[in-house]
Amino acid sequence: MNQAPAPSVRPEKQPELRLVYSRLNVGGVRVPERASSYPEFRYMGSKHRLLPWIHGVLANLDFESAADPFLGSGCVAYLLKCMGKRVIGSDFLNFPTVIAKATVENNSYELDGPAMKRLLQPLRKRSQFIERTFSGIFYTRTDLQFLDRICSNVEKLDNEFRQALARAALIRSCLKKQPRGVFTVSGNRYDDGRRDLKLSIEEHFLEQVTKFNAAVFGNGRRHTIRRGDVFELPAREADLVYLDPPYVPRADDNCYMKRYHFLEGVSCYWRGVELMPETKVKKIAKPFTPFSYRRTALDAFQRLFAMYQKSTIVLSYSSNGYPDRAELQSLLGQYKKNIQTYERPHRYHFGTHAGVERAEVQEYLLVGI
């Protein structure tokens, strides 16, 4: 993927930067109940448990439309929808956009009886791609056959939102069934006997359909979810942009595609992706993002802030990321005169081993107005 050129236009005069810090847990406004019941995804860096804090910051800002070009689990985009805002979301991976299409862009469609009948019907000519490719790596033969059936049948549904709901339910089913919630290891050596690991994929799927149906609602606004790199999609105007880009990893095991390649494959039935058959767990080739490399991260943030300089910018970052807070404040200060910085301690429980130092972090919200 070719990098977009650095912006040639810079502010002619650096404004006097005003920084305000807050270590307090922002509160006073209760997070919408619907947002707190959003299906949680055990992703590395998920902001689900930080939603009350994030909501406390957002609720004090004046905006009607919001862009979220790094959707991740989709929980913040869904929070914005619950706050009555118009949401424009995207991600450079496919499975986050599938989840957000099902829960954010979708205002009314559910997986009803006829849709479920189409999804669960036996195949006359059974597809065996997942069964053949992942046999002995992830899940039982019965689970793999079920995945092939649903992935084949989902395209028989009558619209894109029901298709997205089915895929989202399947994605979360696979995540809950997989020990430790990552797809870097094969087998069941991490099976601790909990309920999620005992249920079949089909049993998970039926539960998740109910959860995702319950997440569907309309807020009177029309929302847009697209798949694409932030620098390759047109910058749609929004009053506010919430930015939660990837962090430069301290180790290769921090890579989203390495950890969640199976979910990316399920979201598109491995169409249009580069499967790496020589790898033990049949990974997918990692797409390039400049935010994941020290040599390109600073320029990427420069271009990102320039791209959204007309919007209120809310940047979510943490102390284990690169660049550090001071560098980000300096970059953001080239485009925003007033910056309010909120911080709070946080521990990530998913996607890291117990006791790993980087699980304990300071979370930051940098608000540039």
pLDDT digits (tens, 9 = 90+) for 66-92: 999 999 999 999 999 999 999 999 999
What is the percent of the chain where pLDDT is above 90? 72
Question: Tokens 């992706």 appear where?
Answer: 273
119 inside domain: yes
Measured distance CA(10)–CA(15) in Å, rounded:
12
- Do 34 and 6 share a domain, yes or no? yes
Average pLDDT over residues 295-302: 96
Burial, 238: exposed, middle or buried (Cβ in 10 Å; 0-12, 13-18, 19+)?
buried
Residue-number span of the structural domain to which 74 is assigned: 1-95+225-246+294-369
Both structure tokens of 54: 């994030």
Judge contact between 261 and 332, C-beta under 8 A: no
**What token pair was written down for 83?**
């706050």
Residues 129 and 266 in one domain: yes
| Cβ–Cβ < 8 Å for 82, 29 | no
CB 40 within 8 A of CB 59: no
Query: Does 153 share its domain with 113?
Result: yes
pLDDT band for 141, please (50, 70, 90 cuts): very high
In a domain, 307, yes or no: yes
164 and 279 both lie in a single domain: yes
Confidence of residue 111 (pLDDT cuts 50, 70, 90): very high
Reported pTM:
0.90
Domain check: are 77 and 123 in the same one? no
Residue 176 lies in a domain: yes
Task: Answer yes or no: do 163 and 278 share one domain.
Answer: yes
Query: What pLDDT is recorded for position 225?
Result: 98
Based on the fold, state whether residues 203 and 242 are members of the same structural domain. Answer: no
Does 103 map to a domain? no
C-alpha–C-alpha distance, residues 103 and 75, integer Å:
9
Residues 327 and 347 in one domain: yes
pLDDT at 21: 58
What rounded mean pLDDT belongs to the chain?
Answer: 88
* Cβ-based neighbour number of residue 127 at 10 Å: 16
113 and 179 belong to one structural domain: yes
Helices (H), 22-74: 33-36, 51-58
279/137 same-domain check? yes
233 and 339 part of one domain:
yes
- Stretch 298-321: mean pLDDT: 95
pLDDT tens-digit map of 14-24: 445 666 655 44
25 versus 216: the higher-pLDDT residue is: 216
**Nearest to 317, CA basis, from 235, 245, 249, 232:** 245
| Residue 102 is assigned to a structural domain of this protein | no
Q: Decide if 101 is inside a domain.
A: no
**What DSSP assignment string belongs to 180-204?**
GG-SSS-SSTT----HHHHS-HHHH
Same domain, 302 and 358: yes
Q: In this structure, is residue 210 part of a structural domain?
A: yes
Give dist(CA 262, CA 254) in Å, integer.
16
User: Measuring CA to CA, which residue among 2, 197, 265, 242 is closest to residue 104?
Assistant: 242
Distance CA 41, CA 38 (A): 9
Q: For the domain that residue 25 is a member of, what is the CATH number? A: 3.40.50.150
Report pLDDT digits (tens) over 24-72.
445 556 789 999 999 998 777 789 999 999 999 999 999 999 999 999 9
Peptide bond preceding 32 in cis form (omega within 30 of 0): no
Is 334 a member of any domain?
Answer: yes
User: Does residue 250 carry a pLDDT above 70?
Assistant: no
How many domains is the chain built from?
Answer: 2
Question: Is the predicted pLDDT of residue 272 greater than 60, yes or no?
Answer: yes
* For residues 101-117, average pLDDT: 98
Query: SS3 of 109, please?
Result: coil
Q: Which residue has the higher pLDDT, 219 or 13?
A: 219
